[in-house]
Chain A
Amino acid sequence: DAGVTQSPTHLIKTRGQQVTLRCSPISGHKSVSWYQQVLGQGPQFIFQYYEKEERGRGNFPDRFSARQFPNYSSELNVNALLLGDSALYLCASSLGVPGLGLGTQYFGPGTRLLVL
Chain B
Amino acid sequence: AQSVTQLDSQVPVFEEAPVELRCNYSSSVSVYLFWYVQYPNQGLQLLLKYLSGSTLVKGINGFEAEFNKSQTSFHLRKPSVHISDTAEYFCAVSEENQGGKLIFGQGTELSVKP
Contacts and interface: CB of A to CB of B under 8 A. Distances in A.
A104 B46 contact: yes
A48 B36 contact: no
B100 A43 contact: no
Size class of the contact patch on chain A: 20 to 34
B57 interface: no
Contacts of B49: 104
B94 A101 contact: yes
A42 B109 CA distance: 12
Given A42-B106, A45-B103, A101 B96 contact: yes
Band of interface residues on B: 20 to 34
A33 B107 CA distance: 20
A42 B107 contact: yes
A42 B43 contact: no
A43 B100 CA distance: 13
B89 to A, nearest CB: 10
Given A56-B99, A101-B94, 18 more contacts: A35-B102, A42-B4, A42-B104, A45-B101, A56-B100, A56-B101, A58-B101, A90-B43, A92-B44, A101-B96, A102-B94, A102-B99, A102-B100, A104-B49, A105-B100, A108-B43, A110-B42, A110-B43
